[in-house]
Structure 1
């Protein structure tokens, strides 16, 4: 596991310590921050992006913390470009209005952005409803075979419906519009479990209480990367040096702890 125990609550964990930067040429600086400012795309509420706190110096999230460090490497100002949704952020990046963000690698945006080497992988798993007796992912199929009528929620448009339907042929896949709806359906016992990234499921379980739990096991992995606009390929080697450095020197691990990002594992590519 990449995420290790932290002696302090995440909200009190210190900011990651800066690491020795690789020198950036003027050409690289112009490619990665063409306006002279590194515009870091974020959407609030996600540990991958931005977690806002009362004291702005304690804001967290991988886009926030890694964006600050990249701006320091480039010796340019750091600026947050805020969006309501990831989809809006990625559209803006495709139009060259955002320079940098941390997200999961997806073919959906492949024509508009370039992706870095992997930062980490996130396990995709299941959150079982309050009062559940389930312990492992395999228990879902066992329950469906025994009693039928088992319902598994998944976000509409997340691309998870088909793989989950293949994995759970006896379970009804229920498409949901938001994480809030998923939480409400779980609390009401209208779905047996909800499938998503464990980075989302663990905080949902904390809020639900009542014995709601993230089941042991996983149904997939998401690769987390840095995205930059298409057309800046000449800066990719510098971006690779940045990724390898933040992983090797512990900066990434500190950012993960501060954001309380759970379900993170070391990527296969090192």
Structure 2
């Protein structure tokens, strides 16, 4: 019979420094942002990190990044102990993922007068798609786009600005973020439907081992089944994301 590790043993595995360093991607406003009053990271992913730290009995230190690729690299290099990422084959090396806890739609933004009316028309010769470099959308489009060009820029705001400036024909990103951009000012519209579904999961450095991955995976399933994730989405006013089904 395999013994379950004690909480102190788990704390040493997950937080060898005595503090659980949580890599937080501020480039995904659905799950993380800076608190307007304190400037500290806040959001669904921060809530999950703090709850997990409480289970381990250790303090939590959010380590904020503006881009998903930088957030993932911090965990891969063990400069952070846990992270919150979109599951993608191109990101798997050096990381271990749980099942997703949230699903987010990815969409396209185009100029109001664009002849493009549906997602299937985007991948055409002469079409340029702006996207945040290293994001889940970038990784997906790199695999799937055959004819259009991909313009990788420093974060989602820059990708959206490129569309407004006429530097590209399409911008790809979180559907909710695109809808907010379209509501700011006339001149752009969101294509109907979605071109991908982003599966947001928790992850750890691969070197932490199978047992640590299993413990984190069980935590995620408990947070989904018990309503913690749903409550966090509601508490932070998140729209355009749903709790993922059981893993």
One fold, TM greater than 0.5? yes
Q: Residues 177, 35 of structure 1: CA spacing in aligned structure 2 closer, same or farther, 3 A cutoff?
A: same
What is the correspondence of 1:116-265 to structure 2 with a 5 Å cutoff? 116-130=98-112, 136-138=118-120, 150-155=127-132, 158-159=138-139, 160-165=141-146, 172-178=148-154, 179-207=156-184, 209-210=185-186, 212-232=188-208, 233-265=210-242
Indicate the RMSD between aligned Cα atoms, in angstroms: 3.1
Distance of 1:215 and 1:41 partners within structure 2: 32
Shift of 1:83: 3.3
Cα pair 2:98 2:201 within 8 Å, conserved? yes
Higher normalized strand content (fraction of residues): 2
Residues 221-249 of structure 1: per-residue CA shift (max 9 Å, x gap): 22211011112221223212211121122
Cα pair 2:27 2:66 within 8 Å, conserved? no
Shift of 1:58: 8.4
Which is worse superposed, 154-163 or 70-79?
154-163
Q: Which runs of 5+ in 1 are unaligned?
A: 1-22
Cα pair 1:51 1:259 within 8 Å, conserved? no
Cα pair 2:130 2:160 within 8 Å, conserved? no
Residues 66-122 of structure 1: per-residue CA shift (max 9 Å, x gap): 111111121211112233433333333223221111111123332311101211222
Cα pair 2:99 2:217 within 8 Å, conserved? yes
Secondary structure in structure 1 of the residue aligned to 2:104:
strand
Shift of 1:252: 1.0
Shift of 1:155: 4.5
The size of the alignment, in residue pairs, is 237
Secondary structure in structure 2 of the residue aligned to 1:247:
helix
Cα pair 1:41 1:83 within 8 Å, conserved? yes
Secondary structure in structure 1 of the residue aligned to 2:233:
helix
Cα pair 1:33 1:39 within 8 Å, conserved? yes
Q: Which runs of 5+ in 2 are unaligned?
A: none
Cα pair 1:41 1:101 within 8 Å, conserved? yes
Residues 23-62 of structure 1: per-residue CA shift (max 9 Å, x gap): 9622222211222211111243432553112323985333
What is the correspondence of 1:68-87 to structure 2 with a 5 Å cutoff? 68-87=50-69
Q: Residues 268, 227 of structure 1: CA spacing in aligned structure 2 closer, same or farther, 3 A cutoff?
A: same
Q: Residues 212, 258 of structure 1: CA spacing in aligned structure 2 closer, same or farther, 3 A cutoff?
A: farther
Residues 187-246 of structure 1: per-residue CA shift (max 9 Å, x gap): 234433222332543343344x20523222122222211011112221223212211121
Secondary structure in structure 2 of the residue aligned to 1:35:
coil
Distance of 1:254 and 1:217 partners within structure 2: 26
